[in-house]
């Protein structure tokens, strides 16, 4: 196969992100070229993309060969399959022979699923939505269903949810079709790293889903189980305030610089009238900062939070101001901007 580096190298770089993170001496530690397409898998998910070539050759490009191809000078590259499942790579005055794997044992990347249902979403909306909630997903949660992002399309909205037991992130957009499924966090991270463009067609069944664009087809398994009833957590609160999002983030960051290890990230927030007072008392500092609220709080409240959780939550928003609503010092704080919501559990203050 002869192909321009500018054509194959970017695709190999994206498929390499799907390969198993732990080194394995088997075929999935490489990218399969077959039927004029490149395929990669880690057995949890797989990616396939076409190449603009016309050959019946079949071979595996090992991970180290992908690195070499990326480092080659611009221009044509020739990849030659050899005996004993090796490949030779040539470019200008460069030549190297890599030991590879038997393509016959490469797992087939599934691009067809039974019980197919289909929906479509623009890549821009998909990326914005999942980036808004992925921070609240713990891939190490003991409940497997909670290690993924929940897609719940109902009532005229597509709701995308992440929850780790301390926070819930909720992004919603108009969508007139009903379905639910949970995609593993790892698969979402790989989808983001591939950088899908244009409209994404999502085919899904009971156990798996396929994300397809003009350039890439991505297969992933779905998580099985019942997700939490997240909407019940976002109950109407009778106390609220509006604050500038970046001013809140910057104040929390400064406060956390002054922490010692015993504080474990806990900050005290005091809302009264038109002011938020961020305070910290530790063995090494006594920090205090006042931030003017954009709209005053209805009732004074003092509440403690893990500062990192609040910062990650606020960073996921893309607006100037957010509304904060409270029940009491032991109830969650709800952050909202109209299309995106988040819930953060407080911590007890000493």
User: Does the pLDDT at position 144 exceed 70?
Assistant: yes
Mean pLDDT for 87-93 is 96
Mean pLDDT for 117-132 is 91
Q: How confident is the model at residue 158 (pLDDT cuts 50, 70, 90)?
A: very high
Q: Which two tokens stand for residue 107?
A: 């797992």
For residue 209, the surrounding DSSP H or E stretch is strand 208-212
Q: Which two tokens stand for residue 186?
A: 């790892």
Q: Which two tokens stand for residue 248?
A: 């809140």
Q: For position 55, what pLDDT does the model report?
A: 94
Mean pLDDT for 59-64 is 94
245-257 and 307-315 helices, crossing angle to 10°:
150
Q: How many residues does the chain have?
A: 350
Q: For position 177, what pLDDT does the model report?
A: 86
Residue with more model confidence, 45 or 263: 45
User: Does the pLDDT at position 115 exceed 70?
Assistant: no
User: Does the pLDDT at position 154 exceed 60?
Assistant: yes
Distance CA 2, CA 92 (A): 12
Average pLDDT along the chain = 92
Residue 258 has phi, psi (to 5 degrees) of -90, 10
> How far does the chain reach from its first CA to its final CA, in angstroms?
68
Closest to 74 (Cα-Cα) out of 17, 3, 11, 14 = 3
What is the side-by-side order of every strand in the sheet holding 208-212?
59-62, 30-34, 37-41, 45-50, 217-221, 208-212, 199-204, 117-122
Distance CA 53, CA 44 (A): 28
Say if CB 163 and CB 136 are below 8 A apart: yes
Q: For position 76, what pLDDT does the model report?
A: 96
Q: Which two tokens stand for residue 98?
A: 């890599």
Residues 6+ apart with CB under 8 A from 150: 159, 160, 161, 162, 163, 180, 181, 182, 227, 230
User: Does the pLDDT at position 24 exceed 90?
Assistant: no
Of the candidate ranges 10-24, 77-91, 154-168, 233-247, the one whose mean pLDDT is the lowest: 10-24
Q: For position 268, what pLDDT does the model report?
A: 95
Pairing state of beta strands 301-306 and 266-272?
antiparallel
Q: For position 113, what pLDDT does the model report?
A: 63
Mean pLDDT for 161-176 is 94
List, for residues 214-263, the tens digit of each pLDDT value: 999 999 999 999 999 999 999 888 899 999 999 999 999 999 998 877 66
Distance CA 298, CA 137 (A): 32
Q: For position 25, what pLDDT does the model report?
A: 61
5-16 and 63-71 helices, crossing angle to 10°:
140
Percent of the chain with pLDDT over 70: 96
User: Does the pLDDT at position 150 exceed 60?
Assistant: yes
Q: For position 206, what pLDDT does the model report?
A: 83
3-state secondary structure of 342: strand
- Give me the sign of the Cα torsion angle 193, 194, 199, 204: negative
Percent of the chain with pLDDT over 90: 78
List, for residues 284-322, the tens digit of each pLDDT value: 888 999 999 999 999 999 999 999 999 999 999 999 999
- Highest mean pLDDT, choosing among 15-29, 101-115, 181-195: 181-195
Q: How confident is the model at residue 111 (pLDDT cuts 50, 70, 90)?
A: low
Mean pLDDT for 119-129 is 92
DSSP string, 321-339: EEEEEES-TTSPEEEE-SS
Q: Which two tokens stand for residue 83?
A: 């005996």
Q: For position 23, what pLDDT does the model report?
A: 60
Q: In whole angstroms, how far apart are CA 337 and each of 71, 149, 159, 185, 234?
A: 45, 20, 15, 24, 14
Closest to 1 (Cα-Cα) out of 40, 48, 36 = 36
Q: How confident is the model at residue 46 (pLDDT cuts 50, 70, 90)?
A: very high
Distance CA 347, CA 303 (A): 8
């Amino acid at each position: 196969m002869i192909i321009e580096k500018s054509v194959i190298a970017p695709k190999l770089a994206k498929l390499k992100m799907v390969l198993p993170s732990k080194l394995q001496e088997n075929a999935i530690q490489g990218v399969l070229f077959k039927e004029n397409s490149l395929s990669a898998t880690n057995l949890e998910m797989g990616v396939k993309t076409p190449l603009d070539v016309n050959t019946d050759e079949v071979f595996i490009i090992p991970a180290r060969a992908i690195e070499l191809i990326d480092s080659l000078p611009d221009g044509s590259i020739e990849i030659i399959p050899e005996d004993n499942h090796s490949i030779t790579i040539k470019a200008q005055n460069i030549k190297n022979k890599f030991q590879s794997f038997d393509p016959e044992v490469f797992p087939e990347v599934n691009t067809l699923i039974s019980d197919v249902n289909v929906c479509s979403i623009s890549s821009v909306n998909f990326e914005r939505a999942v980036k808004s909630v992925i921070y609240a997903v713990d891939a190490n949660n003991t409940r497997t269903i909670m290690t993924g992002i929940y897609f719940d399309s109902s009532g005229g909205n597509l709701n995308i949810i992440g929850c780790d037991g301390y926070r819930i992130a909720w992004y919603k957009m108009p969508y007139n079709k009903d379905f639910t499924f949970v995609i593993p966090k790892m698969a979402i991270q790989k989808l983001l790293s591939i950088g899908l463009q244009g409209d994404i067609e999502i085919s899904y069944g009971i156990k798996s889903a396929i994300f397809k664009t003009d350039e890439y087809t991505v297969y992933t398994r779905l998580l099985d189980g019942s997700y939490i009833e997240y909407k019940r957590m976002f109950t109407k609160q009778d106390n609220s305030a509006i604050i500038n999002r970046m001013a809140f983030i910057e104040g929390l960051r400064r406060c956390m610089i002054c922490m010692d290890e015993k504080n474990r990230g806990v900050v005290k927030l005091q809302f009264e009238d038109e002011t938020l007072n961020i305070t910290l008392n530790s063995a090494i500092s006594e920090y205090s900062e006042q931030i003017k609220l954009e709209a005053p709080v209805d009732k004074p409240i003092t509440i403690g939070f893990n500062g990192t959780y609040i910062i990650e939550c606020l960073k996921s928003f893309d607006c100037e101001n957010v509304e904060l609503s409270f029940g009491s010092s032991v109830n969650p704080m709800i952050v909202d901007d109209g299309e995106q919501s988040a819930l953060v559990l407080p911590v007890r203050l000493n």
